[in-house]
Amino acid sequence: MDFITALTIFVLAVFIGFEIITKVPPTLHTPLMSGSNAISGITLVGALLSGGGFWGGLFGFLAIVFATLNVVGGFLVTHRMLGMFKKKG
């Protein structure tokens, strides 16, 4: 994948993000933050692919731990929060 392709994907994804997220109501801003934060833990994919050598392995391990914390904790706490949002009646 060349740089321009990657940049194209990046720019288009930013626009998609802007389009969807402007429609999120203020009531859900906190779950949006924690949920999207869990998605930014996607760096876990990179972490699983990294490693090699002592330092590479150590950095890779720490990256996996932090990213997994981010992902698992983020999605779960968002779920817990959203479970509390109820409509009247």
Supply the minimum distance, in Å, between the C-beta of residue 5 and other proteins. 9
Supply the minimum distance, in Å, between the C-beta of residue 4 and other proteins. 10
DSSP letter string over the chain?
Answer: --HHHHHHHHHHHHHHHHHHHTTS-GGGHHHHHHHHHHHGGGHHHHHHH---HHHHHHHHHHHHHHHHIIIIIHHHHHHHHHTT-----
Supply the minimum distance, in Å, between the C-beta of residue 15 and other proteins. 8
Supply the minimum distance, in Å, between the C-beta of residue 12 and other proteins. 9
Determine how many CB atoms are found less than 10 A away from the CB of residue 39: 11
